[in-house]
Structure 1
Amino acid sequence: MTTTETFNQIWRSKIDAYLAKRLSDVEITQPKLAASMRYSVLAGGKRMRPLLYLATIQSWTTLDEEMDLAIAGALELVHTYSLIHDDLPAMDNDDYRRGQLTNHKRFGEAMAILAGDGLLTLAFQWLGAAAPAAVGGKMCATLAQASGPSGMVAGQAIDITATGTDVSDLTTIKQLDALKTGALLTVPLALAAERLALPVPATEALLDFGRHFGLAFQIFDDLQDLHGDAAQLGKAVHKDTKAGKNTYPSLLGVPAAQAVLAQEVQQARMILTRLTAAADFSSDLLIGFLDYFDKEMKL
């Protein structure tokens, strides 16, 4: 049986090769724009969102490599666009991402904005061309909703509005995290369910898993900003506190934030266990993604 670690190693390599091949001058006709787009996408990263999509498909059936890599690649393009724009001076004003200069530091603000625009629109080109005809429109709408003004973009807007103010309401921070981070970590599960035409109960279970996973991911990221090492993370640490960001550790304190993280991971695990008992589905790969949080839960 393939472990999650082995699966991720194999498919991360395939994702990287696919992205490098397709992000060529053939699809991006302006050379400097192509260089800017490739710079951020090919800088590496965990590839968490495409891997979640691929692992969900594999948990039900055999992957269609040509189709599924295109869909997985579209997810990574949307994620990278969001990072480029998030790093801009008008947003988080970051100098480093994935261990190298941020896009606007390397290519200038205007080209970084255009690179983000290009990646976002190219993602829908890839998804629309690759998805099964019967559900292609639905899948494009699902990704648009998750990444747009009722999803990730809404979360970014809440974050900007709340930064520098003292938010004492856990519900507000949970909503912020669910939109800003959770939406793009839940949508891989949603796209996989639509691609496989899964029944409603199975789809809802996957989405519920994605919501808990997404919240756990953001809490973990908040904690890593306090405990992590800049060289290992490839970006600056302690920026949330300096910028006046509202996070789980800032509101609850570190021990309580770690406890909430453990609760979210446990909820995600229980959802997959119940789904395995009720459907022709192997939970092993997706459960393995929860190991990502072990470092903070064992502190």
Structure 2
Amino acid sequence: MPETFNRQLMLLELLYENPIGADGSVPAVVSLFKERPSDDELHSNVMTLRALRDDGLVELFEAMGFDGDSAFLTDDGRLAVERIRAKRTNPGARRSAAENGLLIYLHRQDPNGVGWTRVADFLAADDSMFLGVRLPEDLVYRVAEQLVRVGLVQEGITVAELGGAPLTVRLTRDGRECAESDDDVKDFLGHRDRPAPSQNFTINATSGNAFNWGANVSQSVTTTTATGLAGDELKALIQAILEAVPALGLTEEGRREVTASAQAVEGELVRAEPDQGIVRTHLRRILEAVNAEVGSQLGQLLAAQIKLLMAAMGSPID
């Protein structure tokens, strides 16, 4: 945070805590501090008070020397301090400041996300200041963990004592794009994860739903992609495949193949940047195993559903 802004906050709060006396006396500028500042510091303070006076937040009375200067807050100045203090204690505002501050700091350290940066270094930097007060350490580590979960940063070393929160982090591609955009983290994620138009996909055979497979599964798929997030729909389908393996009539080798490939896809999809090649390879293996050993309408419907979702993700399977 700029030095001038920090100085403005400091002086406004000092004047708020040192109002005009009951006898009408205006506090001297030097009396606001426990120890008399140097003349250079007093000069900077007076220059800042002049700017605050021009903004209508203080009244400033200047004498021949710094020791004679005095000032007090106007009503607008007192209101400004009260608003700052209210915002400083607002949980949402503090969290937003931690998210954006950490992301900007990481971009300043390494915009390409090659090297690792300690979260503790951010806590010691000016970027962790929020309206003149340093952000709480526990909040910053929780925010770092959340930024990992949404794919804006990648974690390096974690520590159990902090609940698994990362000690070192670096930017991902999305994190760099967010830091370089005009959006804050909340708006960026809202734009990135905005649902696409609804898509409907229906294949009818007898009755049933692919996501409710069981021992008496019927051979039909009815899926509505309401969210438009094909990746999320694919995760749901993979989970359904894992649950349905015992009911698909596969050989032991086929069950192992389908289960291993489904777990590989599931593991890749939780990554911030899934490798489409790995996902596509294992989905092909699932399709081959199901079609070769089941050959049923259910297998055909499963193949069609996987192909649809992969195409929606921009990675079609031939």
Structure showing greater Rg: 2
The structure, 1 or 2, with the larger RCO (C-alpha pairs under 8 Å, 6+ apart) is: 1
**Bin of the TM-score, shorter chain as denominator length:** under 0.3
TM-score (norm 2): 0.23
Please state which structure has a larger fraction of its residues in helix: 1
TM-score (norm 1): 0.24
